[in-house]
Amino acid sequence: MAFHITEVIYMLLKVTCGERETRVVKAPDIGISEGDYIIYKTESGKDIGCVIETLPKSHLVSYRFASTATPEDIEKMKALKREETKKTRECTELLPKYNPQMKLVGRHIQFDGKKVKFYFLADSKLDYRSLVKQLSKQWNMRVEFQQIGARDYAKGFPEYGLCGRRTCCSRFRKDFEPITTTLLRLQNLACGTDKVTGICGKLMCCLKYEENFYRLQEKEFPAVGSLVNTDKGEGTIMDRNFITETVTIKYPDGRKAQANLGEIEAVSKLPMLILKKTLLGIR
């Protein structure tokens, strides 16, 4: 059956390599559903994947659909998964000799058995030609290595975050927005702790999700260092809690107490140091 480009529908796949995703093509009348396994053609041979989503027409590079997977194909895929584990172990045993800095994080044997590909992390660019030569001779098949970044690893080889769910970048985030330490200060979080970094070693993407809330709350609160009036007298804002809508106030006699946002009246929204400089005419 001929493929008509104007009728092509793209489908998003999870291939067997650490749930990495790729795109393949099918014709509208083939009748494939999400969850089905299919065989598709790549530049280097045939591979197998599970359909996870139907996509609209796209300009992204795609692979050609070959056939739906048979029960025998599924059994072969399971056997290849076991073979992947074996070959990963054999490769790992050679790393101390050839590339001790290499950290393997993913592997995939192509469905036709002609190629095995390893994905790895490293702090610098590595020369792994000797390792490839040794493994190709040992296994009598094509061997490839691909160095990936920490964020590519988190996105392409899904793991679980501190929240107990799969990483956001592997589930739905397509673009990486900059996450800066300004968001930590805004949310009153400490820098340099494991609680605010993801498995990629970068600040967690979810810090961005509540930014609008904190920005809006910040406008409603006096700044830290501001003078406020309460029923207990005048004091200085030492801390703010945007979640509970409370502030910590220090009074001239050294006492500290919490107060609700609605219980305080700002004398000045400027921090104390800026206020003093303003009153004294210092620039």
pLDDT, position 7: 40
Q: How far apart are CA 160 and CA 247, in angstroms?
A: 35
pTM, two decimals, is 0.65
Q: Are 144 and 115 in contact (CB under 8 A)?
A: yes
For residue 252, the tally of other CB atoms under 10 A from its CB is: 9
The values of phi and psi at residue 22, to 5°, are -145, 175
Close Cβ partners of 281 (under 8 Å, ≥ 6 residues apart): none
Close Cβ partners of 137 (under 8 Å, ≥ 6 residues apart): none
Per-residue model confidence as pLDDT tens digits over 240-276: 999 999 999 999 888 899 999 988 887 765 555 555 5
The CATH number of 74-148, from 3.30.310, 3.30.420, 3.30.300, 2.30.30, is 3.30.300
CA-to-CA dists, residue 99 to 61, 108, 183, angstroms: 33, 20, 38
Name the band, by pLDDT with cuts 50, 70 and 90, for residue 189.
confident
CATH 2.30.30.140 segments of the chain = 222-280
Task: Return the CATH class of domain 222-280.
Answer: mainly beta
Closest of 111, 26, 96, 114 to residue 64, by C-alpha: 26
Q: How far apart are CA 267 and CA 244, in angstroms?
A: 22
How many Å separate Cα 90 from the centre of its chain?
29
Residue 94 amino acid letter: L
Q: What pairs with residue 48 in β-bridges?
A: 39
Q: What pairs with residue 55 in β-bridges?
A: 10
| Range among 11-15, 55-59, 71-75, 230-234 rated most confident | 71-75
Name the band, by pLDDT with cuts 50, 70 and 90, for residue 6.
very low
Alpha helices in the chain (DSSP H): 71-98, 129-139, 150-156, 168-171, 181-186, 211-220, 272-280
Name the band, by pLDDT with cuts 50, 70 and 90, for residue 278.
very low
pLDDT, position 24: 67
* b (16+ CB within 10 A) / e for 146-179: eebeebbbbbbbbeebeeeeebbbbeeeeeeeeb
CATH 3.30.300 segments of the chain = 74-148
Strand 115-121, strand 103-109: pairing: antiparallel
The values of phi and psi at residue 196, to 5°, are -115, 5
- Describe the crossing of helices 71-98 and 129-139 by its angle, rounded to 10 degrees: 130
Q: How far apart are CA 179 and CA 168, in angstroms?
A: 14
The conformation of residue 3, written as its DSSP 8-state character, comes to -
